[in-house]
Amino acid sequence: MPPKQKKITSANNKRGAIANLLGLSILLGVSYPLDLMPYAALSLFLQFTVFFLHGLPYRSEKFYDISGSATHFALVFTSVTADESQVRTRRQMFLAMCSVVWMTRLGTFLYLRVLRDGKDERFDPVKPHALRFAAFWTVQAVWVFLIQLPVLLLNNMDDTTAEQPIGTTSDYYGLVEIILIITWFVGFTIEYIADTAKMDFRNKPENRHKYLTDGIWSVCRHPNYFGEILMWTCMAGVTTVAAIEHQKWYLLSAWLSPAFTAFLLFKVTGIPLVGKAGMKRWGDDPVYRHYIDNTSLIVPWRPAPAFDATKIE
C-alpha cells in the first residue's frame, strides 16, 4: 500500500474508532439512568445486523435508510407491547401512532430516493474503510434511540392516572396537548410537502442541474428540516405534560430528541452537507447566491425579493 493511501486508511480507522466509541458511550450514558437499556441494545443490534449481513460485505448503503425505519418501528412496537398487563392511555398510543406515521413516510421517501439515485454519495469516501463505515450505522442506532425518547419514556411508565375526570386540572393539560398535536400535524405536513416537491422537481430530467426555489422552498431554504424539528419538539412537549402531571422529572429527558435532531441537521448531516454541495455546484450563479442570501435558513418567512440582474457588476 502506498504511504499516502496508508495514511488515509489510518486516519479513517482512527476517526471510525472514535465515532463508534462515542456513539456507544452516548447509548450507554443515556439509556442506563433512564432504564431504557433494552431499547438501546435493540437499536444497536438491528443496525449492525444489517451492516454485517449486507452493508459491509457489499460495501453498500442501499438498506441504510430502510433499516433505520425498521429500527424505529421495532423500538416503538416493543415499547407498546413489552408489558401486556399495562393499560395504555390515549396519550401513549397517540405518540406511538405519530412515530409510526412519521417513520413510514420518511423511510419510504429516503429509500425511493436511493433507488432513484442509485447510491448516497455521502458514503462514497467511507465505504472502503470498515470502521469509518460502521460508525454511520452506530450513529444511526444512536439517532433512532434518542429521537424516540418521547415515545420510549412515556410508554415505559404507568400513565393511567393521567386520564382524570372532567373538572380536574388535567383539563388544562388536555388543551395544551391538543395544541401540541395540531402543531405536530403542521410540522408533518410541512415536511411532506417539502420532500414531495423536491422529489417531483428532481424526477424531471430538465431539472437535473437546477435548484428548487419555488413553492414552500421559496419561504425558507430547509422547510423539510423545519418540519422535522417541529414534530419532535411537539412530541417532547407532550411528554413534558406527563412529567408535570406525574411529577416524574426524568421524563424531561425527552427533550434530547428535538435537541439531537437539531444538532444533526444544523451541524452534521443536514445543512452543512447540503450547503457545501450547493455552493460547489451553483456558487458562481448570482441568482443562487441571491436566493441563499435573502431566504430564511430554516424558519418559513417571506420569500426573497425578485432578483435584479442590473445590479451584477
Helix 130-147 vs helix 256-263: crossing angle, to nearest 10: 140
Give the model's confidence band at 165: pLDDT under 50 very low, under 70 low, under 90 confident, else very high: very low
Q: How far apart are CA 236 and CA 148, in angstroms?
A: 10
Confidence check: pLDDT of 248 > 70: yes
Give residue-wise pLDDT tens across range 76-106: 999 999 887 778 888 899 999 999 999 988 8
Give residue-wise pLDDT tens across range 113-138: 777 776 777 788 888 889 999 999 99
pLDDT of residue 78: 95
Task: Name the phi and psi angles at 29, rounded to 5.
Answer: -65, -30
How crowded is residue 4: how many other Cβ atoms within 10 Å of its Cβ? 8
Query: Number of H helices and number of E strands within the chain?
Result: 12, 0
pLDDT of residue 313: 55
Give the model's confidence band at 8: pLDDT under 50 very low, under 70 low, under 90 confident, else very high: confident
Cell of 112: 425511493
Question: Kindly report the CA angle at 43 between 262 and 146, in degrees rounded to 5?
Answer: 25
pLDDT of residue 214: 92
Cβ atoms of residues 28 and 102 within 8 Å: no
pLDDT of residue 1: 62
pLDDT of residue 52: 96
Q: How far apart are CA 229 and CA 98, in angstroms?
A: 14
Q: How far apart are CA 44 and CA 123, in angstroms?
A: 19
Please give the residue that has the higher pLDDT: either 208 or 191.
191
Give residue-wise pLDDT tens across range 13-48: 899 999 999 999 999 999 999 999 999 999 999 999
pLDDT of residue 6: 76
Cβ atoms of residues 11 and 132 within 8 Å: no
pLDDT of residue 5: 76
List, in sequence order, the alpha helices (H) in 203-285: 223-246, 256-263, 271-282
Task: Name the phi and psi angles at 300, rounded to 5.
Answer: -55, 130
What is the signed CA dihedral for 255, 258, 261, 263, rounded to 10 degrees? -70
Residue among 70, 50, 73 nearest 62 (CA):
50
Please give the residue that has the higher pLDDT: either 172 or 142.
142
Q: Where are the domains of the chain?
A: 9-159, 171-306
pLDDT of residue 170: 47
pLDDT of residue 21: 96
CA 176 from centroid of its chain's CA atoms? 24
Give residue-wise pLDDT tens across range 267-313: 887 898 888 888 989 989 999 999 999 999 999 999 988 877 666 65
How crowded is residue 44: how many other Cβ atoms within 10 Å of its Cβ? 21
Give the model's confidence band at 188: pLDDT under 50 very low, under 70 low, under 90 confident, else very high: very high
Q: How far apart are CA 26 and CA 13, in angstroms?
A: 20
